Amino acid sequence: MDKSIEDIKDEALKAIDAADDRQAVEAVSTRYIGRKGVITQFLRNLSNLPKEDRPGAGKRANQVKELLQKAITDALSAIDARAAGDIEIDVSLPGRSAQRGYLHPVTQVTHQICDIFRRLGFDIAEGPEVETDYYNFQALNFPKDHPARDMQDTFFVSDTVVLRTHTSPLQIRTMEKYKPPLRIIMPGKVFRCDSDLTHTPMFNQVEGLMVDEHISLGDLKGILTVFVHEMFDEQTGLRFRPSFFPFTEPSAEVDILCVICRGEGCRVCSHSGWLEILGSGMVHPALFENVGYEADRYTGFAFGMGVERIAMLKYGIDDIRKFFENDMRFLGQF
């Protein structure tokens, strides 16, 4: 009698294994553990056994019933899982590639600018965006009543602390830290209280500084000419227009031949044929005094350019605010 319940068990497990859809599994279930199934029948026939064998056989039959119940449940969930898989996997569908991130155009152009100067032997340095009045103005030879200190341009944190209005304070910070000869390029965010088509309260600058014995305006012109030719192209001419900055003497603004009309005159260059791209000049000896360099031994040049402006000229963008709206349709084009 014991052997026969084991036979029933083996037979039922084989049948469950062979059943390959829900209907087949359910049929096996009805057949073996249903109300009128084989196991029920078996339990009913227990009375035919000798009295002392009945409890053991009954217990075993109930164990087998539980075991079959579990095998049936497992088989049904395996079939369901397979069916779900069948619906989702369509091998004829083209693959879905994961979307890759990329650098913001302003970051890309910053890297391009820094790369060009790195190839010319410049090192990269950075510094704080919240700056003291000393580094932002005083050490850069700004007289106390200079209009650039005016509330209209400068975000003041306190009487003596500002959001840096340019990257030029890094000239002082790097000269305090290193002795000449010096060739450094310094990218970073700057802040001015200004907002329109071509100005945002935060924008990016790249500052350049070269100090050694015998550095001349010719070196400045040579380095910037290489830069413009690499950044735009060899046909892009440039001119030095006399200007003024408290921290350079002499000072010059650099214009490039309009990238749109090539000097003919158009809307972008206000019909002048030229576009201003940066401020520059020979480092004022007062700065050397401020950082403890021998002012009669060293000379140097410095320049500072706006990254967004370069990016706008390079890609023909007419509104600087597009860089900061984070519209993926715009940003995705670079």
> Least CB distance from residue 110 to ligand PHE, whole Å?
16
> Least CB distance from residue 149 to ligand PHE, whole Å?
14
Cα dihedral across residues 206, 231, 209, 218: positive or negative: negative
Report whether the peptide linkage leading into residue 180 is cis, meaning its omega lies within 30 degrees of zero: no
Among 248, 256, 291, 309, binds ligand PHE (CB under 6 A): 248
Residues 6+ apart with CB under 8 A from 118: 124, 185
> Least CB distance from residue 302 to ligand PHE, whole Å?
4
**Distance, CA of 225 to chain centre:** 31
Kindly report the backbone phi and psi dihedral angles of residue 130, in degrees, each rounded to the nearest multiple of 5, phi listed first.
-95, 120
Return the number of the residue (39 or 220) whose C-beta is nearest ligand PHE: 220
> Least CB distance from residue 166 to ligand PHE, whole Å?
3
The kind and range of the H/E element at 245 are strand 238-245
> Least CB distance from residue 207 to ligand PHE, whole Å?
6
> Least CB distance from residue 174 to ligand PHE, whole Å?
13
Taking CB atoms, the residue at the shortest distance from ligand PHE is 304
Return the number of the residue (15 or 302) whose C-beta is nearest ligand PHE: 302
Which residues, 108 to 167, sit near ligand PHE by CB under 6 A? 166
The kind and range of the H/E element at 225 are helix 217-231
**Interstrand relation of 161-163 and 202-212 (parallel, antiparallel or unpaired):** unpaired
Q: Which two tokens stand for residue 151?
A: 């509330």
Report whether the peptide linkage leading into residue 242 is cis, meaning its omega lies within 30 degrees of zero: no
Q: Are 277 and 80 in contact (CB under 8 A)?
A: no
> Least CB distance from residue 159 to ligand PHE, whole Å?
22
> Least CB distance from residue 294 to ligand PHE, whole Å?
21
Return the number of the residue (61 or 210) whose C-beta is nearest ligand PHE: 210
**Distance, CA of 22 to chain centre:** 51
Among 110, 168, 290, 299, binds ligand PHE (CB under 6 A): 168
Q: How big is the CA angle at 178 (ends 172 and 179), to the nearest 5 degrees?
A: 105
Among 32, 245, 288, 323, binds ligand PHE (CB under 6 A): 245
Return the number of the residue (117 or 303) whose C-beta is nearest ligand PHE: 303
Which residues, 192 to 221, sit near ligand PHE by CB under 6 A? 207
Return the number of the residue (40 or 132) whose C-beta is nearest ligand PHE: 132
C-alpha to C-alpha distance for 280 and 54, rounded to whole angstroms: 106
Which residues, 312 to 331, sit near ligand PHE by CB under 6 A? none
Paired strand residues for 15 = none
Return the number of the residue (122 or 245) whose C-beta is nearest ligand PHE: 245
**Interstrand relation of 182-191 and 123-124 (parallel, antiparallel or unpaired):** parallel
**Interstrand relation of 202-212 and 182-191 (parallel, antiparallel or unpaired):** antiparallel
Return the number of the residue (187 or 279) whose C-beta is nearest ligand PHE: 279
C-alpha to C-alpha distance for 18 and 15, rounded to whole angstroms: 5
Return the number of the residue (37 or 169) whose C-beta is nearest ligand PHE: 169
Which residues, 270 to 309, sit near ligand PHE by CB under 6 A? 279-281, 302-304
Q: Which residues bind ligand PHE (CB under 6 A)?
A: 166, 168, 207, 245, 248, 279-281, 302-304
